[in-house]
Amino acid sequence: MIAHHLVLVISLSCVRIFQSTSELYAILWQLFWAIRPIINLKSPVPVGIVDYGAGNIASLEMALIAAGGAPKLAREPSDLSSLAAVILPGVGHFGPASAALRDSGLAQELCRCAIAGLPLLGICLGFQLLATTSEEAPGASGLGLLPLSSQRLRPRNTILHKVPHLGWNTLHAVNVCPRLLHGIAFEKRRFYFANSYAIAPDPQMLATQATYCHEHTWLALLERGTICGVQFHPEKSRSQGLQLLRNFLALALECG
């Protein structure tokens, strides 16, 4: 009699658990469908990496795959079609890089795509190439997508401030929090820099900006519409760098 009672109680409680878990599953399923278009779990985002012979792309490729992207190298203008976003990386010298972009026809096609609304992210030298000119190569011109120019870092206190600016520096958002920094905790907003040239922030410019300090204040991150640039290396900046790339891919999906 007692055993019978016990079985009844257990089966009843099982039904209750089953009911509540099935409800939970239903809620989770609905949630999954609700956020699916935002995070796009299934298909990796096709993102182009402009390859103009300026060195280490491997780490960017690996980071993008980890962030949910499907990187494709773009060496010719035709490679820029059917992409959700494009990244202009860069290590090296402004002059040869700018010449290589123009000679391959990539510069013109990049400008056309960026103006048409294809999300574009410039990294380090790639960021400086989005601007108009650089002190590094006075005769050469950048893509001109941002009315800015880069200049040599010339700190007065050379004991404290070294050139190249090498290592982990903290970011300060100028006005609103940039979309690229979403989900990155305040104390995690430190990124890996390696640069001798930098762009001064422009308070008049209608753009979301974040800065870093190297004796003076310099531009670390800029977002103007779908054109973004970062002076640091997100692909080398551990988990916060991956989150930044994820945010960029999310921006690409929103636009697409």
Partner 1 sequence: MLQPRLIPVLLVDAQQQLVKTICFGRRQYIGDPLNAAYVFSGFEADELLVLDIDASTQGRCIPLTFVAALARFTHVPLTVGGGVISLEQIHGLLALGVEKVALSSVLSRDFSFLQQAATRFGSSTISVILNVHVPEKGTPLAWCGRPDISMLGRPLLELALACQEAGAGELLIHAVDRDGQRQGYDVPILAELNRQLAIPLVALGGCGNHGHIADLLKASPLSGVAAGSLFIYAPDTQQVLLHYPLSHHWLQEQLPQLQECWI
The smaller minimum CB distance to partner 1, of residues 188 and 224, is found at: 188
| Part of the chain binding partner 1 (CB under 8 A), chosen from 9-17, 114-122, 137-145, 152-160 | 152-160
Phi, psi of 86 (to 5 degrees): -140, 145
Q: What phi-psi label fits residue 53: left (phi over 0), alpha (psi between -120 and 50 degrees) or beta?
A: left
| Chosen residue from 55, 138, 147, 183 binding partner 1 by CB under 8 A | 55
| Chosen residue from 2, 3, 34, 58 binding partner 1 by CB under 8 A | 58
| Chosen residue from 44, 72, 93, 216 binding partner 1 by CB under 8 A | 93
| Part of the chain binding partner 1 (CB under 8 A), chosen from 5-13, 51-59, 67-75, 248-256 | 51-59
Please report how close the Cβ of residue 11 comes to partner 1 at its closest, in angstroms.
47
Q: Are strands 197-199 and 149-152 parallel, antiparallel or unpaired?
A: antiparallel
Rounded (10°) CA dihedral 143, 226, 210, 145: 20
Q: Could you say whether residue 15 binds partner 1 (CB under 8 A)? A: no
Q: Helices (DSSP H) in the chain: which residue ranges?
A: 2-39, 58-66, 94-103, 106-115, 125-130, 238-255
Q: How many CA atoms lie within 13 A of 208 on its CB side?
A: 17
Give me the residues that bind partner 1 (CB under 8 A), please.
Answer: 55-59, 62-63, 66, 91-93, 158-170, 190, 192-196, 212-214, 233, 236, 238-239, 242
